[in-house]
Each structure stands twice: as C-alpha cells, then as structure tokens.
Amino acid sequence: MITTSRRARLGWNIATYAVLITLTIFCIFPLLWTFLTSLKYEADIVTQTIQYIPKRITFDNYVAIWTQSGFPTLVFNSFVVTATTVVLCLITGTLAAYSFSRFHYRGRGALMLGYLVIRMFPAVLMIIPLFILMRGVGLLDSRFGLALAYTSFLLPLFVWMLKGFFDAAPKELESAARIDGCTRLGAMIRIVLPLARNGLVATSVFVAIAAWNEFLFALMLTTSQGSRTWPVGLQLMVGEFQLPWGVLAAGGIISIIPVMILFAIVQRTMVHGITAGAVKG
Amino acid sequence: MSTLTLNGVRKSFGALDVLQSIDLELEDGEFLVLLGPSGCGKSTLLNIIAGLETPTSGDIFIGDKRVNDVHPKNRNIAMVFQSYALYPTMPVERNIGFGLEMRGVEPDTRKRAVDGAARMLQVDHLLDRKPGQLSGGQRQRVAMGRAIVREPELFLFDEPLSNLDAKLRAEMRTEIKRLHNRLGTTVVYVTHDQIEAMTLGTRIAVMKGGVIQQLADPMTTYEKPANMFVAGFIGSPSMNFVHGTLAREGDTTTLKTDGKDSTTIRLPRVAANLENLAGRKVVLGVRPESFAANASEPDLTGTIDVVEPTGPDTLVVLALGGQTITARLGPKLTVATGETLGLSIHPDSISLFDPDSGNRIG
C-alpha cells in the first residue's frame, strides 16, 4: 500500500515538474532566441539549417542599433512618456482612489462603474475619437499627448487597484490623525500613503510596464521621430525588402532591460503589495 | 463650569435616526460612561463630540464655545480608539508626539512631554519600537500616552479595552481610573461592558435606540434603574423579573405571579406608594444578591432548578410558578436540584416596573 501511494505521489511529482518545465521553456524560449539572434552575424541568422547556439559572437548589432538608428531617441521618448504617464496617474489616481475609498457622494457608484467600463472597450474603438481629440487640442505627435492617452486607459486600473489598498488602511488611523492636527489631505499624505506604499509601488509598476510596451496608441498618435516610442520605431525598421533580424533582436533586448531592472528592484515590494490584505498580517 | 454640553443633538443616516435628541451636561473632571449594546448610537455620539461626524441638528459646546463647525484638531480633545489607531509606520516616540508635532511644538519641548507621558504609562523603554512590535497592553498604553501628552480639555475613549484579554482588561481599567484621579481631566468613555461602566464612571448614561435611558451615578443606575432595559443591562447575572399582580394582605403587600402555577411572593418593603398600586399588574425586579436563604420565614418559596457554584458564591436558579429567578447565595451552600428553597428579599432592594411601558413605577 505504502509503495503504491509513494509511486503515485512520485508520478504526480514528475507530471507536475514536466508541465512546469514545458511552460518555462515555452515562456523563456522566445526571449532566449531573441538574445541569441542579437549576438549572431547576419550571415548566421538566415541559414539552411537552424543554428541554435551561435558559433561566432558579435556585439555589432547592439552597436549598430545604438549608433546608426534613432533608437536612443526612441528609448528616451519611451522614458519620458512612461514617466509622464506614471506621474499623471499618481497625482490624479491617488486622489480619485482615496475619494472612492473614503467618501460617499452622489454618483460615486456610477463614476466607479464608468472607470471600469472604459477598460472594457477595445482600444481600437477609442483610438479614432482620441486621434480627433488630440488633433483638436494640438497634442497629436507629442510625448505629453501620448502620455495623456495612456493615462486615459491606465488610470482606471490604477484607481481600482489603489482603492483596494486604501480600503485596507483602517479609517480610525485617519480619525486619530485628524484629531492630532492633520487635515483630510494631510492625513492621507502623512498616514494613509505611507501605509499603502507597497500598493502604490505595485500599481505604478503595472502602469509603467503597460505604458513602456504600448504599441497601438503610439503608432496612431505619433508621426515623427521626435515623439515616437521604441515599439513603433522598432516595427518601422522592418523594411519592405530587408529584415535586419540581428539589429531588431538587439533593439528588443535593450528595450526589455528597463522592465527587468524595474522588476528586480520592486519585486519584493510588489509581491507584498499584491498579496497585502489577503491574509491577516 | 461645564466642560461639555450637548443640546438636542440628533443624527440621522437617511431615514434611520441613530441619535434622537441627546441632552447632556458634563462638569469639569467628570467621568461619563456611555453604556449600551451595539448599535445604540454611543460611538456615533462620541464621534460627533470629536468632530469626526456632524450632527443632523443640535449644538455641541466644549467649555463655553460652540464647536459644531470646529475642526477636530481645534476642539482641544484627545481620543483613544478601540483599535488603538497607532500609526504603524512611526515609532512609539513619534506616535505619542505626533499631535504636538502637528501643532508646531519645538522638538525639545516635545521630547520632554513625550518622555513624561511615556514614564507615567511605563512605556519609556519602548520609544524606539514600531507599534507592530508591541503587545496589546503596550499598544493600549501608547494610545493613552498619545492622548495625555497633549493635555486636552476632554478625553474621549471609544471602547479602549475591548481588544484586551480579561486579565489585562482589569489591569488597564485600574490604570485608567488612576490616570483620571491623577489628571482630573473630563472623560467621555464609550463601552458595552457594564463592569467598566460601574467601576470607572462618576455618571453613566445608559443608551438604547439613540436615546439616553438613564443618566445617573453608577449606584443609582444599579439600585434604582429607570426602566427594565437599564435594569436588565446592568448587573451580571442580570436583574430577575417576575410578572404578577400586586395585592394587599393585611399589613403586607404581596405579588401573585402570572402563569398557571401561580405562587405568592411577600414584598418586604412598605413603601408609601405601594398601597396605591394594589390590584395592578406589575413586573417585580430583584437583583440576584438581594435574596438570602431563609427557611423559617421565607418571602418566597420555589423549586431548585440549577445550582452553579462560582467559588465566592453560589448561583441558584429557582423555578417559581412557571417563571425562573436567579439568586446569588453564599459559598459552600448544601442544596440540591429538585429541593424546595425558601428565600427572603432584602428590604429596599426591589423595583417595580410597568409591564407595558417597562418604566419604573416604584
């Protein structure tokens, strides 16, 4: 009996690991393949037989994309747009989430639902009106305009996530702070925000990654090199008669580095933030 | 001079009246306990006094100043919350001194004040710790330190002991009483624990359904409850209620109990108004400790249903013609279930209530 149950458990363990390893390979392989491609000479990329491990290694692709294209500008633009989006979300979203969490007023439920409904529309549906709107106010082909467009669909996510973190902060703390001499806003900044810090970091990282990787809005709302972001720039490098695989791969790898660094720095805070309140802490 | 005056304070949430015209006047140095079951409006009343909620109508005066539109921070009050509400991100020292910090008190003065309060509450060795590293009792002391350091005109306590275990609760109760004796500051204290109310308060306001049922000193509340709710809420085991009809038998007044196995209870007190009540249906209220075992001349006789020895005394539940009463008798009582027991009622310790309104009639 014991042997049978042990065998069964072993079988289950093997099956579990097999599934997990397959999934890991499935996720990591494209990244690894891109990385390996970025290290290959052009002649070694398009070959008769697939060459998994490069025989010769070169960093020419990285040098090429950084020096011979507008890639640094694209990355810089992405930085500016992402940072602006995060700041816009932080300022407006924090106040909105706090108001949803703490105050009861007419239309509160409808407003919150409205925020959620915006998320339900496909981006394609929003993009034409947004294009016309941006053109009308002269924000087409500007980094701020793009950040504003990102804020329009990332703010709901930010507000809803942060509202959860604010809900978890006990109201009595604010009452105590108000008696101790804080205003409502003062109590929020001094007492509630430090408590919701993990949530704030986690939510901001989500928004930052979404803004950093966004493609469709950037394609539609930017037309010049001055405001274009890296996903669009990289896509435009695909020419009609040539496909510079090595350079594209190098661009891809450079672009995911900021995301990886961001994750590495905030990973612990973020996991803590996401699971906060799930169990009694 | 009165520290706190409430005139016709009402609070409604939509159609729900949480407080119905509360009038109160608190003298300097008084310790008022707001006592009542959950949902009776006592915490709402405290929040209104603190300025955390606005009354629907009515006036609130602290000292001689009307404070209805005054921000909580400018009311010169301090509050201790049920959950302690210590700021989790700040060490104890900053927690205690936060109110002073917000008022722009110099760091040196602040430190002296914090040290003084911490010493008084024996938390001076914990000043560097965060609230998360403290035990329940220590958190409670820090919360009190935060309140006393500001030297307010009025202390507000919102069920401050309900999160502590029984032993610690008794300790902290003594501590709060000692603190009040020492500081002499006026206190409004919310609780649902009648022991806390009895031991701490100079006056108790028993609340139910947003109405103050009785406002009196603890012993009056206990011995002469204004109605059956107050009588039943204060005291453990609670007051015995026996439904019946009053009658005169010569010099004595008796109560003929309701129910099919009716029995007669002799009432020991000859009060002036008792004679006028003869023939009237009443509810007799007697505290469990007002009974004494008396075999020779009992005022009432019943069958023992349950015997519960608690150590210092014995609780005996007696079946009395279809109704039951609980008597608190001496320790080491040799009685058994099913036996007949005669009891006498202590003179001057009976209450009579109107069965319809529940109000005290004698």
Q: Is the alpha carbon torsion for B215, B216, B219, B220 positive or negative?
A: negative
Arithmetic mean of pLDDT over chain A: 88
With an 8 Å Cβ cutoff, is B77 touching chain A?
yes
Q: Give domain status of residue A280, yes or no.
A: no
Distance (Å) from the C-alpha of residue A141 to the closest C-alpha of chain B? 44
Architecture of domain B240-353: Beta Barrel (2.40)
- Is residue A250 within 8 A of residue A182, CB to CB? The reply is no
Tell me the average pLDDT across B128-150.
Answer: 91
Contacts of A77 (CB under 8 A, 6+ apart): A143, A226, A227, A228, A229, A230
HSE (CB half, 13 Å, CA atoms) of A183? 2
Q: Give domain status of residue A209, yes or no.
A: yes
Tell me the average pLDDT across B119-124.
Answer: 90
Q: Do A83 and A40 fall into the same domain? A: no
As a whole number of angstroms, the distance between CA B33 and CA B191 comes to 7
**What is the pLDDT confidence band of residue A120, given thresholds at 50, 70 and 90?**
confident
Asked if the Cβ–Cβ distance from A180 to B146 is below 8 Å, we say: yes
Convert B153-206 into a string of H (helix), E (strand) and C (coil).
CEEEEECCCCCCCHHHHHHHHHHHHHHHHHHCCEEEEEECCHHHHHHHCCEEEE
Least confident window among A125-129, B65-69, B153-157, B267-271: B267-271
Asked if the Cβ–Cβ distance from A179 to B52 is below 8 Å, we say: yes
Amino acid occupying residue B134 = L
For position A280, what pLDDT does the model report? Answer: 36
Least confident window among A234-243, B83-92, B95-104: A234-243
Q: Give domain status of residue A281, yes or no.
A: no
As a whole number of angstroms, the distance between CA A207 and CA A211 comes to 6
With an 8 Å Cβ cutoff, is B14 touching chain A?
no
Q: Do A36 and A97 fall into the same domain? A: no
Q: Give domain status of residue A20, yes or no.
A: yes
B82: burial class by Cβ within 10 Å (0-12, 13-18, 19+)? middle
Asked if the Cβ–Cβ distance from B79 to A179 is below 8 Å, we say: yes
Whether residue B191 is predicted with pLDDT greater than 90 in this model: the reply is: yes
Contacts of A172 in chain B (CB under 8 A): 81-83, 85
Domain boundary among A11, A43, A60: A60
As a whole number of angstroms, the distance between CA A257 and CA A176 comes to 44
For position A275, what pLDDT does the model report? Answer: 59
Structural domain harbouring A46? 2-60
Q: Mutating which of A172, A174, A179 best tests the B interface, going by the most B Cβ atoms within 10 A?
A: A179
Least confident window among A209-213, A224-228, B65-69, B189-193: A224-228
Q: Do A98 and A147 fall into the same domain? A: yes
Indicate where chain B has its CATH 3.40.50.300 domain(s).
2-233
pTM recorded for the entire structure: 0.80
Please give the tally of structural domains in chain A: 2
Whether residue B216 is predicted with pLDDT greater than 50 in this model: the reply is: yes
With an 8 Å Cβ cutoff, is A177 touching chain B?
yes
With an 8 Å Cβ cutoff, is B197 touching chain A?
no
Q: Do A74 and A53 fall into the same domain? A: no
Q: Do A87 and A53 fall into the same domain? A: no
- Does B280 or B2 have the greater pLDDT score? B280
For position A168, what pLDDT does the model report? Answer: 87
Chain B residue with minimum CA distance to A171: B85
Amino acid occupying residue B107 = P
Contacts of A170 in chain B (CB under 8 A): 83, 85
Asked if the Cβ–Cβ distance from A175 to B52 is below 8 Å, we say: yes
With an 8 Å Cβ cutoff, is A178 touching chain B?
yes
Question: Using CA atoms in the order A83, A89, A91, A96, what is the torsion angle rounded to 10 degrees?
Answer: 180
pLDDT tens, position by position, A21-59: 999 999 999 999 999 999 999 888 888 888 888 888 999
Helical (H) or strand (E) element with B306: strand B300-309
For position A273, what pLDDT does the model report? Answer: 63
- Fold held by B2-233: Rossmann fold (3.40.50)
Helical (H) or strand (E) element with A130: helix A123-136
Tell me the average pLDDT across B35-45.
Answer: 93
Q: Do A119 and A85 fall into the same domain? A: yes
As a whole number of angstroms, the distance between CA B239 and CA A167 comes to 43
Nearest to B79 among A176, A181, A186 (CB): A176
Asked if the Cβ–Cβ distance from B99 to A180 is below 8 Å, we say: yes
For position B259, what pLDDT does the model report? Answer: 81
As a whole number of angstroms, the distance between CA A140 and CA A128 comes to 12
Q: ipTM of the assembly? A: 0.81
pLDDT tens, position by position, B51-68: 999 999 999 999 889 999
Tell me the average pLDDT across A203-226.
Answer: 90
Helix/strand/coil percent split, chain A, to 5? 75, 0, 25
With an 8 Å Cβ cutoff, is B13 touching chain A?
no
Q: Do A150 and A245 fall into the same domain? A: yes
Tell me the average pLDDT across A261-273.
Answer: 76
- Is residue A222 within 8 A of residue A81, CB to CB? The reply is no
- Does B206 or B332 have the greater pLDDT score? B206
Asked if the Cβ–Cβ distance from B83 to A180 is below 8 Å, we say: no
Q: Give domain status of residue A97, yes or no.
A: yes
Least confident window among A114-123, B121-130, B171-180, B353-362: A114-123
Whether residue A278 is predicted with pLDDT greater than 50 in this model: the reply is: no
Q: Do A39 and A138 fall into the same domain? A: no
Contacts of B103 (CB under 8 A, 6+ apart): A181, B150
Whether residue A277 is predicted with pLDDT greater than 80 in this model: the reply is: no
Residue recorded with tokens 């279930």: B337
- In this structure, the number of other CB atoms found within 10 A of the CB of residue A77 comes to 23
Q: Give domain status of residue A222, yes or no.
A: yes
Least confident window among A211-215, B202-206, B347-351: B347-351
As a whole number of angstroms, the distance between CA A178 and CA B116 comes to 23
The CATH code of the domain that includes A163 is 1.10.3720.10
Q: Do A10 and A132 fall into the same domain? A: no
Q: Do A142 and A10 fall into the same domain? A: no
**What is the pLDDT confidence band of residue B236, given thresholds at 50, 70 and 90?**
confident
- In this structure, the number of other CB atoms found within 10 A of the CB of residue B42 comes to 28
For position A122, what pLDDT does the model report? Answer: 84
Token pair for B118 = 């911490």
For position A84, what pLDDT does the model report? Answer: 97
As a whole number of angstroms, the distance between CA A118 and CA A112 comes to 10
Indicate where chain B has its CATH 2.40.50.140 domain(s).
240-353
Strand, coil or helix: B283: strand
As a whole number of angstroms, the distance between CA B176 and CA A257 comes to 59
**What is the pLDDT confidence band of residue B271, given thresholds at 50, 70 and 90?**
low
Residue recorded with tokens 């009025």: B154
Whether residue B222 is predicted with pLDDT greater than 60 in this model: the reply is: yes
Strand B300-309 to B264-267 pairing: unpaired
Task: Residue B241: name the closest of B325, B176, B183, B300 by CA.
Answer: B325
